[in-house]
Structure 1
Amino acid sequence: MTVMADFQRVETGSGTLLRFTGDLSLATIGDLPERLQGVEPVDGVDLSEVHRIDTVGAWMVHRFAAEREIPVSGLEGDEAALYDQVARAADQPVAQPREEYGLLLRIVAETGEAVITSFKTLYGLLGFMGATLIAFWNVACHPRRFRLNATVHRFEVVGVSALGIIGLMSFLIGIVIAQQGAVQLRQFGAEVYTINLVGRITLRELGVLMTAIMVAGRSGSAFAAQIGTMKLTEEVDAMRTIGVSPIEALVVPRTMAAVVMMPLLGFYASLIAIIGGGLLCWVALDVPPITFVQRIREVVPITDVWVGLVKAPVFGAIIAIAGCFQGMQVEGDAEQVGSRTTAAVVQAIFLVIVLDAFFAVFFSEIGWI
């Protein structure tokens, strides 16, 4: 039976108490909060006659007692626990609004936060790279722990399945390079050097670089999403529970597949780009395929091929490690999977371009130009 909430002043040996009766719930409070505002000062609140109390009733009593700084007594069991919980929540400090700064200070503050975040990410990535190297060493020392089936499957995902899109992209890039080079060189009567441009830039730079960008967007994002989903479903924690290293089971096969397949994909992309450039030279410049191939062999040194093959596995390792690292950072909810996948692609492409600039300077210094 529901009893409307009410209160009365009671004189006791310890002073005057405000004793509540009935049900202190949302449905039975009625105008009780307004009536409490006119109550004369009392020494305490007694809830021993209350039949039932909910969150609204507990909040009303706590606010009344807190305003007058008087004690509350009479609750037991679950009702007492509920009141204590409401009181703790009400006593928490209110978050102060952020102070608004000027535009310049805000830009400086956001730049500082971005720099700090970047250094923290770099520090975590270096640590994860070290853990991956340790896992490779452990697998090398214990070959039975090497997961051949998983690695071969990653070979197919990273390499074979990407042949179509990488081939199409490289073919079109070769055509664009040849067309733009021919247009510019025609002004000086040097259209024949379009072959030099196509051969050297594809084998030395664009073949491997564009392949790395495609692999980062295709496979790096997939690595982050797959491992991130496994983190959310607690599969990674289950691996640790049964004594399986997630680095060895998840990261090593993906990294090995990227390292092995990147040189092959880069060389394949360079050849397809040269074919696209040769087709454009045949159509636009009347250079027969035989002449084009002979000219390529004359003007492209073997060092250009080695430059591309040296850079490719490093790019593959960076892409795989960045993707797996971001996947391992997923926590909380499914939204983290999307944000970490985006971060993996951006981070991998950024690091690939930085390393490509480093390799350009390095190979120039050692004379591979």
Structure 2
Amino acid sequence: MQAEFLVAEQRADGNYLCVQGNWTLDNFSALEKLLSRYKKQALPGQHNLDTSKLGMLDTVGASKLIQLLGHENVCQLLQADSMLAAEKKALIQTVAQALELTKPDMQKEKAGVFGRFFGQIGYSIAAVWQQFISLLGFAGLTLEALFRILLQPRQWRFTSVVAQVQTSGLNAVPIVMLLTFMVGAVIAFLGATVLADFGASVYTVHLVAFSNLREFAILLTAILMAGRTASAFTAQLGSMKVNEEIDALKASGLNPVYLLVIPRVLALLVSLPILTFLGMISGILGGMAVCALSLDISPVMFMDIISENVPVRHFWIGLVKAPIFAFVIAVVGCHEGFNVDGSAQSVGEHTTSSVVQSIFLVILLDALAALFFMEMGW
């Protein structure tokens, strides 16, 4: 027996285990030896606990005592032992509860490769579903607040909306026009190269017009706004969440959705259609430049072909998707900003998530819209 820590005594009223000495971190090695010894040698049978000679006790000593005696035995012995100080008894009980909570994880069997693989798939599907439900709820809350605020002109915040239009719309004009111009030029290059084999180089004009008006202008603009504006919304609201500014607004009786979400949604609803229109013009100008340089199609002839052969409905088909994409991008950005849990790492994670979700939803909705318009014959 380790006389300085644990002694088994036989008394007139029964068998006793006398716990004595300092069960602290300083005696960790000796306590480990005692514990390893009794893993091979069972403790005496029916016994009572005597803690009258117990010195100092910390969490390390309490955990070793619980591991030595067992959780159930410790609980029973603590109830029967009235000589143990209240603070030591509370410490042992707290450590015992903590060990009991972690016990299932410690004893959890390791899953196989296939179990982990399919488990991860199930976890991912459940997380995506919960995220989708949360996003739908936030979108409904935003629509409800939007309809309410339209009927209350006193709560309109023109200054916030104009500031957000400048940030998310006006400042994005150069990058949107540059990107769509280059994409329009690339489409014209590809069209001129491929169609030249069939002697149909003149149809490069049709390709540039159709692709820019229906798809590329709105899609590229929306993807740029998803990466630029949705991330900005998430970072702004996430920083406010970390600094507890949103909680301060709620404590002041103000609605954060009215103050923070609605101006951003309205600003993007105004900005994205305008940016899409500019992207259409810029993309057509890019195709026009390539046609003039490579195919000897003059700008006047280019515009005549478009006006005669490209119906105006293609312009409206591209433009009608802009408000829908704008609402989705703004809602996703604000939703992720409100989900930040109070750390800088969380801000980064939710900013990344907002960009990924926005781009995915924009491409998904664009594909669904393309199928719908095709089936409708538009």
TM-score relative to the length of structure 1: 0.88
- Indicate if the aligned counterparts of 2:239 and 2:347 stay in contact, CA closer than 8 A: yes
* Alpha-carbon distance change, 287 to 98 in structure 1, aligned in 2, over 3 angstroms: same
Structure 2 residue corresponding to 1:146, chosen from 128, 136, 156: 156
User: Which shows bigger deviation, 129-138 or 91-100?
Assistant: 91-100
Give the conservation status (yes or no) of the 8 Å contact 1:226–1:327.
yes
Matched residue type, 1:75 = L
CA deviations 1:245-295 (Å, max 9, x no partner) are: 121122111111111111100010111111111111111112222222232
Quick one: distance in 1 between partners of 2:135 and 2:71?
53
The equivalent of 1:84 in structure 2 is: 93
For 1:25, the equivalent position in structure 2 comes to 24
- Return closer, same or farther for 1:33/1:237 CA change in 2, 3 Å cut-off: same
The one-letter code sitting in structure 1 at the alignment partner of 2:239 is T
Counterpart check, 1:64 vs 2:63: no
Q: How has the CA–CA distance of structure 1 residues 277 and 63 changed in structure 2, closer, same or farther, with 3 Å as cutoff?
A: same
Conserved? CA contact 1:5–1:32, under 8 Å: no
Residues 178, 197 of structure 1: 8 Å contact kept = yes
**In the alignment, residue 237 of structure 2 is paired with which amino acid?**
I
Q: Is the 8 A contact 1:19 1:45 kept in 2?
A: yes
Is 2:324 aligned against 1:314? yes
Q: 1:113 to 1:69 in 2, by over 3 A?
A: closer
Verify the 8 A CA contact 1:8 1:18 in the aligned structure 2: yes
41-50 or 132-141, which deviates more: 41-50
- 3-state DSSP of counterpart to 1:287: coil
**Structure 1 stretch displaced more, 188-197 or 357-366:** 357-366
Aligned-pair distance for 1:217? 0.9
Structure 1 residues 323 and 190: CA distance shift in structure 2, 3 A: same
Question: Where does structure 1 lack aligned partners over 5 or more consecutive residues?
Answer: none
Residue type of the partner of 1:146?
W
Give the conservation status (yes or no) of the 8 Å contact 1:232–1:330.
Answer: yes
TM-score w.r.t. structure 2 length?
Answer: 0.86
- 1:162-311 pair list within 5 angstroms: 162-311=172-321
2:84 to 60, 75, 88: 75
1: distance between equivalents of 2:240 and 2:119?
A: 35
Q: What displacement does 1:6 show?
A: 4.4
Higher share of residues assigned helix: 2
Kindly indicate whether the alpha-carbon contact (under 8 Å) linking 2:31 and 2:64 is maintained by their aligned counterparts in 1.
no
Change (3 A) 1:137 1:68: closer
- C-alpha distance in 1, partners of 2:97/2:6? 24
Given that 2:337 and 2:350 are in contact with CA atoms closer than 8 Å, whether structure 1 keeps it comes out as yes
CA distance in 1, matches of 2:218, 2:29: 75
Aligned pair 1:55/2:67, yes or no? Answer: no
Q: How does 1:102-141 map to 2 (within 5 A)?
A: 102=114, 109-141=119-151
Q: Secondary structure at the match of 2:318?
A: helix
Deviations 1:18-42 (A, max 9, x none): 3334432222466355457477557
Partners of 2:176 and 2:314 in 1: CA distance: 20
| Aligned mates of 1:205, 1:216 — CA distance in 2 | 16
- 8 Å CA contact 1:267–1:308 kept in 2: the answer is no
Following superposition, the deviation at residue 116 of structure 1 comes to: 3.5
* Residue 362 (structure 1) shift: 3.3
- What are the superposed Cα offsets for residues 143-164 of structure 1, whole Å, 9 maximum, x if unpaired? 2222222211110111111112
- Taking a change above 3 Å as real, the CA distance of residues 59 and 125 of structure 1, as seen in their structure-2 partners, is closer
1:35-87 per-position Cα deviation (integer Å, ceiling 9, x unaligned): 57477557222223333211222222223332894624332233222111112
Displacement after TM superposition at 1:12 (Å): 5.4
1:97 corresponding residue in structure 2: 109
Aligned-pair distance for 1:110? Answer: 4.4
Name the CA distance, whole Å, in 2 between partners of 1:359 and 1:251: 26
Stretch deviating more after TM superposition (357-366 or 134-143) = 357-366
Identity %: 37
Tell me how far apart the structure 2 counterparts of residues 253 and 226 of structure 1 sit (CA, whole Å).
13
After superposition, the Cα gap between the structure-2 partners of 1:360 and 1:8, relative to the gap in structure 1 and judged at 3 Å, is closer
AA partner of residue 44 (structure 1): N
Gaps of at least 5 residues in structure 2 are none
8 A contact 2:9–2:15 mirrored in 1? yes
RMSD (CA atoms) = 2.7
Q: Secondary structure at the match of 1:48?
A: coil
Q: Deviations over 1:160-214 (max 9, x none)?
A: 1111211111111011010000001101111111111112211221111110011
Measured after TM superposition, the shift of residue 339 of structure 1 is: 2.6
Give per-residue Cα distances to partners, 1:78-117, cap 9 Å, x unaligned: 3222111112223332321342253xx7665544444433
> Any idea what the Cα deviations from partners look like across 1:311-366, whole Å, max 9, x if unmatched?
11111111111121222222364333233222222222222222222322333454
**Bigger shift: 14-23 or 264-273?**
14-23
Letter matched to residue 58 of structure 1: A
